[in-house]
Amino acid sequence: MRRELLDLHRALVDSERRQYERARGRMTDRAFLEALISAPELSWLGPLTSLIVRLEEAVEEDATENAETRSAVRDCVEELRKLLRPSADAPGFQRRYAEAMQRSPEVVIAHGKLMRALPPESHPGAD
């Protein structure tokens, strides 16, 4: 799942870079990284980036898999499922995600691979 999540993030960043450079001209990698961090037009990627960091921290915090680690990972996966629902009518991330999926086949492919790689949905009372 980790690889698929990072592949989706990379596909989104690549798609946004093409759009950003189309409007502003070619940029060095460093200049684009600075824009990715600070440009308001690219800030919509923040929730996904934050979830990736949280997931990485949950896994790295405790090398031995325990109930707390499993719970933190499960929470992140559930948030991913909610976040990665493209909707042209929704505000923020979901709308921009839908737009990225419309213009980039790479994003669509990466989305599908990630959805297949996610563990099955947990249901209340199933634990």
CA distances from 69 to 74, 76, 118 (A): 8, 11, 16
Q: What is the pTM of this model?
A: 0.85
How do residues 90-108 score in pLDDT, each as one tens digit?
A: 889 999 999 999 999 999 9
Q: What is the pLDDT of residues 43-97, one digit of tens each?
A: 999 999 999 998 888 877 655 667 777 788 888 899 999 999 999 998 899 999 9
Q: How many helices (H) and strands (E) does the chain have?
A: 6, 0
In angstroms, the CA 3 to CA 10 distance is 10
Please, are residues 96 and 82 in contact by the beta-carbon 8 Å criterion?
no
Distance (Å, whole) CA 117 – CA 126: 20
Tokens 């001209």: give the residue: 25
Residue whose token pair is 């949280």: 54
